[in-house]
Amino acid sequence: MKETQTIQKTYNTAQTTERISGSEAIVRCLLEEGVKVLYGYPGGAIMPVYDELYKYQDKIHHVLTRHEQGATHSAQGYARISGEVGVAMATSGPGATNLITGIADAQIDSTPMVCITGQVPSHLLGSDAFQETDIVGISTPVTKWNHQITKASEIPEVMAKAFYIAKSGRPGPVLIDITKDAQFEDFDFKYEKCTGIRSYKPVPETDKSSLAAAAELINNAKKPMVVWGQGVILGEAEEEFKAVIEKAGIPSAWTILGASAIPTSHPLNIGMVGMHGNYAPNVLTNECDVLIAIGMRFDDRVTGNLATYAKQAKVIHFEIDPAEIDKNVKADIAVLGNAKTSLAEILSLIKPNSHTEWHQKFKDLYDIEYEKVIKSDLHPTKEGLTMGEVLKEINIQTKGEAAIVSDVGQHQMIACRYAEFNKTKSNITSGGLGTMGFGLPAAIGAKMAAPEREVISISGDGGYQMTIQELGTIFQQKTAVKVVVLNNDFLGMVRQWQQLFFDRRYASTEMTNPDFVAIAKGYYLNAKRVTKREELASAVEEMIASKEPYFLEVCVEKEDNVFPMVPSGASVSDIRLE
């Protein structure tokens, strides 16, 4: 108790100068930034920080993941559902390099994350010392900012900058590498939060003339269409976005990271664009007269062949990052700034509209997609289970209130297509990097950030085995994640391409899988396998009712494909339904 009181006192007086070690300073900086949960894996070069964390375990909960990659994905899941900065920590050498996949994933998906790595003592830098790796050089292409600390006195300023940069403007990952001698060194500690950096302007000023020009285009459009991305969610602009599209009556489609900004059932929500998106928004992208992109970056999976993408349309691009303007698609009008601010400002300039005939086109094409694809996905007549009916049952049992954390592959596309999202920040997945193994550890972070929410991890049998060891983290932390594996004994997405484009030469895609239920039970988790349709509803009901972690394996059809599909390099209007 005496030690706890001392810790509280020193923390509350952080604005006064106080002589402490670099390692304690790191922990105190985390406390000043409001960090409550930290994911990591200890080792020699970061051990002084772990020793200090031991003293502060009543204030920061450290989660020992089973692999450093799991730490980054857990930090991502934590950040994506909370809107706060996720934090991961590792030692030097392989510990640091094992963070890179998660850092790259966070960079391309704009996830705020701070990674702290230990480093060999400064006098050994460049000597190829044991577990020395140039992690600053390695991580430079995949971080928003990185920095190596060799003196303890640098720690407060650099840590404050790290959190400010990670969260401000377009978010992203930051890596701070700290030599071991800097962790041991004593110095006079004082912490001041960073509120600005010279020459760094995270939010560009919105030009009033651009807003007026955009509003004029929208008001005069006969066939307007919105495509929104994660920028709406990151900017906390959901209400402003909904107000704009409802006033203008514009059919609105989403990228996979934009899903859940408005409910799935919203009448203006016309579905997902992209390679496995819905038929209507993909086809009609090449018929609209005004295309309004909000907080999205025209990824190649969304646009297909750029030479044929929306060439007939005037393009309005709402974007916080100036580097995204004209990068892939030329914008006729660019509206720079935070989506929350710019959408609020344009609302008064927009005239009410309904676009009834234009909406009917989307409905007609949806009917075609329903008959050719959706009906058989959700209401199959064949004997084997489909991935779609598993998602349908989860929707029924959760009433669309769950956060769905998906891995990468066919199951990811099915989850994005068929999960019902009634709350924002409900679709957590790896978008730009497409990282297999993301789902399970990200679900751990999401559940720890939002313990009141039902968090369901959806994985395929391939990606699941890339981070299966994180079942140990779930067991040790008692994190009530619900883990669903859709098992088709294949690397399903690659197999689909081999079937369609490589004459069914299934090279290295069929998997001989272990007993997943036995493995889950080996980690002392409740577990069940479903092989028949009549078993599905009761198994999902049992899973959702459980207050503890639960593993559910559903054996689905081995050679089911995900349609619609825009073939690689094709136009979005050439989308295939079969």
Q: How far is CA 427 from the centre of its chain?
A: 8
Peptide bond into 514 cis (omega under 30): no
How many Å is the Cα radius of gyration of the chain? 25
Would residue 130 show up in a list of annotated catalytic residues for this protein? yes
Q: In whole angstroms, how far apart are CA 394 and each of 119, 401, 428, 429, 496?
A: 45, 10, 16, 17, 25
The residues with which 39 forms a beta bridge, in sequence order, are 63, 88
Taking alpha carbons only, the member of 156, 196, 191 closest to residue 176 is 156
Residues 6+ apart with CB under 8 A from 533: 385, 389
Q: Which of 18, 36, 55, 131 is catalytic?
A: 131
Where do runs of H (alpha helix) occur along 111-254? 135-139, 155-167, 180-184, 208-220, 231-234, 238-248
Would residue 436 show up in a list of annotated catalytic residues for this protein? no
Q: Which of 8, 15, 130, 510 is catalytic?
A: 130
Q: Which of 24, 32, 33, 68 is catalytic?
A: 68
Report the distance separating Cα 263 and Cα 240, nearest Å.
14
User: If you ran DSSP here, which 8-state letter would residue 452 be given?
Assistant: T
Report the distance separating Cα 557 and Cα 578, nearest Å.
17
Give phi and psi for 511, each to the nearest 5. -115, 135
Collapsed DSSP state (helix, strand, coil) of residue 465: coil
Residues 6+ apart with CB under 8 A from 549: 474, 475, 478, 479, 480, 481, 482, 483, 525, 526
Collapsed DSSP state (helix, strand, coil) of residue 151: coil
Would residue 493 show up in a list of annotated catalytic residues for this protein? yes
The residues with which 126 forms a beta bridge, in sequence order, are none
- The label of the residue with tokens 């307007």 reads 224
Q: Which of 89, 413, 493, 543 is catalytic?
A: 493
- The label of the residue with tokens 């400002």 reads 345
CB count within 10 Å of CB 367 equals 13
Report the distance separating Cα 258 and Cα 236, nearest Å.
12
Report the distance separating Cα 412 and Cα 270, nearest Å.
19
First CA to last CA distance, the chain: 67
Taking alpha carbons only, the member of 214, 32, 200, 50 closest to residue 118 is 50
- Show which residues are catalytic: 68, 130-131, 180, 493
